[in-house]
């Protein structure tokens, strides 16, 4: 990216000067910052902006202001998934989008390990038994030796896979195309054979981005091909799942359970069946949000801003058509 002609102007979208992102002062040494938390404020501020730091990506904010964004060259997303940020005019433009890839990897991997242990050790039943003052001894499952299939072999999927290996699990992955394995994944299958692949696994973890091509990949045929004892864990995006098919599989106990951190509609409506399905753990899209993640995201933005000012290549450039940071595959 070539050097901007002057000190750049950056709009922090979805934040206010009264409640700024923590550590954003470090960016003010390199750029003129303004804050815009509403559509009218953004439309006004974006006219002068070289860059936007999308602290929050409300679907409607940026498209409304877009006709005014004539100087804009770069958008940094504060999240890893950019599905709520991208829209057709942005995709077709020369504006570069970067994301927060890499920040959430260990937090999510630890969370997935926690979920697998909760299932294997029956921890929800343990807590319930304590509440009932019930002394009921029983054996628990081992994770060691179990089979973990991770759909999405990006940095989050890889870290989940690495953690699974450290626990003694057999680990395979699913990417866009089948390819040979590596130090984390014994093998990597392509999504075209997903239904044929999931039957191998005791735990199926979805760590996929929301893109047009991952939409509804987990359908009735995939859930129907899972083992009756297998658990499905989704920390990627809700749109990758046909939720009705998952609800049926859980209700009829055709799979062993599910732990869901992401949903097609968020917040999950209070009348959603997921809240009360058997063997189901629901969490409010929080698996990546470790204490300190806000500061970490701002540090990444400041690093990229320094690169932007110096005309150097930016970190985490999203392939806007694919909807994620595409790495060359072997």
Ligand X SMILES: NC(=O)c1ccc[n+]([C@@H]2O[C@H](COP(=O)([O-])OP(=O)(O)OC[C@H]3O[C@@H](n4cnc5c(N)ncnc54)[C@H](OP(=O)(O)O)[C@@H]3O)[C@@H](O)[C@H]2O)c1
Residues lying near ligand X in the complex (CB under 6 A):
80-81, 101, 104, 108, 152-157, 174-177, 191, 207-211, 213-214, 235-237, 261-262, 285, 287-288, 324-326, 329
Minimum CB separation from ligand X for residue 285, in Å? 5
CB atoms within 10 A of CB 110: 15
In the three-class reduction of DSSP (H, G, I as helix; E, B as strand; rest coil), residue 9 is classed as strand
CA separation, residue 65 to residues 38, 61, 172 (Å): 10, 7, 44
Which CB atom, from 69 or from 207, has the smaller least distance to ligand X?
207
Minimum CB separation from ligand X for residue 175, in Å? 3
Token pair of 156 as six digits: 């989050």
Minimum CB separation from ligand X for residue 31, in Å? 26
d(CA 286, CA 255): 24
Minimum CB separation from ligand X for residue 256, in Å? 21
Which CB atom, from 38 or from 329, has the smaller least distance to ligand X?
329
Which CB atom, from 27 or from 184, has the smaller least distance to ligand X?
184
Beta strand spans in 192-326 (E): 203-206, 231-234, 257-260, 280-282
Minimum CB separation from ligand X for residue 188, in Å? 8
Q: Tokens 């019930």: give the residue.
A: 134
Which CB atom, from 164 or from 236, has the smaller least distance to ligand X?
236
Which CB atom, from 8 or from 155, has the smaller least distance to ligand X?
155
Residue 263: DSSP 8-state: -
Give the bridge partners for 175, in sequence order: 190
Helix or strand run (H / E) with residue 254: none
Give 3-state DSSP helix, strand, coil % of the chain, rounded to 5: 35, 20, 50
Minimum CB separation from ligand X for residue 26, in Å? 23
Which CB atom, from 76 or from 191, has the smaller least distance to ligand X?
191
Of the candidates 276, 283, 242, 246, which has an alpha carbon nearest to the alpha carbon of residue 262? 283
């Amino acid at each position: 990216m070539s050097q901007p002609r002057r000190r750049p102007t950056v709009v922090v979208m979805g934040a206010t000067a009264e409640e700024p992102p923590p550590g954003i002062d470090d960016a003010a040494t390199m750029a003129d910052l303004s804050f815009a938390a509403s559509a009218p404020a953004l439309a006004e501020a974006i006219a002068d902006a070289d860059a936007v730091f999308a602290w929050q990506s409300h679907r409607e904010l940026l498209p409304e202001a877009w006709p005014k964004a004539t100087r804009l060259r770069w958008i940094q997303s504060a999240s890893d998934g950019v599905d709520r940020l991208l829209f057709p005019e942005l995709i077709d433009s020369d504006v570069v989008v970067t994301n927060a890839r890499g920040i959430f990897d260990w937090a999510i991997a630890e969370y997935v390990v926690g979920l697998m242990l909760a299932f294997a050790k029956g921890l929800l039943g343990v807590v319930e038994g304590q509440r009932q003052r019930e002394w009921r001894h029983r054996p628990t499952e081992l994770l060691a030796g179990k089979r973990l299939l991770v759909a999405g072999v990006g940095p989050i999927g890889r870290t989940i896979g690495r953690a699974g290996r450290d626990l003694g699990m057999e680990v395979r992955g699913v990417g866009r195309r089948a390819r040979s394995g590596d130090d984390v994944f014994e093998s990597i299958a392509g999504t075209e054979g997903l239904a044929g692949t999931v039957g191998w696994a005791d735990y199926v973890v979805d760590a996929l981005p929301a893109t047009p091509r991952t939409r509804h990949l987990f359908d009735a045929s995939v859930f129907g091909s899972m083992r009756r004892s297998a658990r499905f864990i989704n920390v990627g995006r809700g749109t990758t799942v046909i939720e009705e098919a998952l609800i049926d599989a859980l209700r009829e106990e055709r799979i062993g359970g599910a732990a869901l951190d992401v949903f097609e509609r968020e917040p999950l409506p209070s009348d959603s069946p997921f809240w009360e399905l058997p063997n189901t753990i629901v969490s409010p899209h929080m698996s990546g949000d470790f204490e300190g993640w806000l500061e970490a995201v701002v540090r990444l933005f400041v690093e990229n801003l320094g690169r932007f000012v110096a005309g150097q290549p930016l970190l985490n450039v999203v392939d806007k058509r694919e909807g994620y940071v595409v790495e060359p595959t072997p």
